[in-house]
A and B are shown apart, each in its own frame.
Chain A
Amino acid sequence: MIEGPKVSQGARFRKFALQLLVGGLVGIGFASGMNALIQSGALGALDKSAMIAIVAAVVYLVIGLQVCVGMALPRAGALMLNFEDEAELRDQRRIMMWSAVSMIAMGAMLAVLALSAPDGPIAPAIGLTVAVIASTGLVWASLRILRDMDELLRSVTRECGEIAYYLLLAIGGGWAVLAHLGYSPSMRMLDFITLNYVLLLAASFIASGRRGMLRMR
């Protein structure tokens, strides 16, 4: 056997269907839960910026938790996380673990910032404390990941950074130009943080897609 087990079209479809099903169910579950929580008024009177930030945070948290579940259940994890088999997932275990930590830290930080005062129920001092702890965890996890990355992943990470920068320049810069000239409302600081998160995620999909890493395996 040269290329590992050959994957039939049927198996690929089942894999795709499972990924879609798990992602859809977890996403709908989280979204419904958040919606119920927001409607209950327990989170205070959140504005549009906070709501968008929470949606972005939930996406990060869902991806991070999905990776955790995938590692705990390697057979299902190989299907969910687009690995060829369990052995490949085990080879990449450390990177996946620290990636999950990074995603959860980023998601938690954004969620807490969105829920912090003046609009949310969390005191600014608590928001800042969580942001500092999450940022420290993020830097630490990133340094651990760097140790285990091979050259393809390093290259994808560099490209991701480049793409995110140009996207931010185009979208954030474009927004700033319009706001400066009075053609659009100014960006709030929370919008800027959310924009960074969303563009980073978009850039990571673009960079890994260009290297064929999103192709169903």
Chain B
Amino acid sequence: MRNTLKHYRETAGWSQGELARRLGVSRQTINAVETDKYDPSLPLALRIAKLFSVAVPDLFIDQWEPEAE
């Protein structure tokens, strides 16, 4: 799933290591999320959103749309 994590992290001026430390995960996890190799769990996605004060859909972009009735 495409995401804007790198954009928000860079805007905050944090390195991957700094973000990883704040979230309590490894640097590899941040790298895997930013390169679209790994979709984080819902709790981690919520924590990331809270950290950047944005909504989850601003961070993780899903193209799916419900079918029109």
Question: How many interface contacts (CB-CB < 8 Å) are there between A and B?
Answer: 49
A169 at the interface (CB under 8 A from B): no
B32 at the interface (CB under 8 A from A): yes
8 example contacts (A-B, Cβ-Cβ < 8 A) are as follows A1-B15, A84-B27, A88-B27, A151-B25, A151-B41, A152-B28, A210-B37, A211-B38
**Contact status B29-A2, CB under 8 Å:** no
Partner-B contacts on A (CB < 8 A): 1-4, 84, 87-88, 91-92, 150-153, 155, 210-213, 217
**Contact status A150-B26, CB under 8 Å:** yes
B26-46 interface with A by 8 A CB criterion: 26-29, 31-32, 35, 37-38, 40-41, 44
Chain A residues near B35 (CB-CB < 8 A) = 212
**Contact status B17-A211, CB under 8 Å:** no
**Contact status A213-B17, CB under 8 Å:** no
Distance between B36 CB and nearest chain A CB, rounded to angstroms = 9
Chain A residues near B9 (CB-CB < 8 A) = 2
Chain A residues near B27 (CB-CB < 8 A) = 84, 88, 91
Pick from B14, B26, B28, B41: contact of A2, CB below 8 A: B14
Q: Whole-angstrom distance between the alpha carbons of A4 and B17 in the complex? A: 8
Distance between A130 CB and nearest chain B CB, rounded to angstroms = 33
Q: Count how many chain B residues have C-beta atoms less than 8 Å from C-beta atoms of the other chain.
A: 21
B1-58 interface with A by 8 A CB criterion: 9-10, 13-17, 24-29, 31-32, 35, 37-38, 40-41, 44
**Contact status A92-B14, CB under 8 Å:** no
Q: Whole-angstrom distance between the alpha carbons of A4 and B31 in the complex? A: 11
Q: Tell me which of A2, A91, A92 has the highest count of chain B C-beta atoms within 10 A of its own C-beta.
A: A2
Chain A residues near B41 (CB-CB < 8 A) = 151
**Contact status A152-B17, CB under 8 Å:** no
Distance between A85 CB and nearest chain B CB, rounded to angstroms = 9
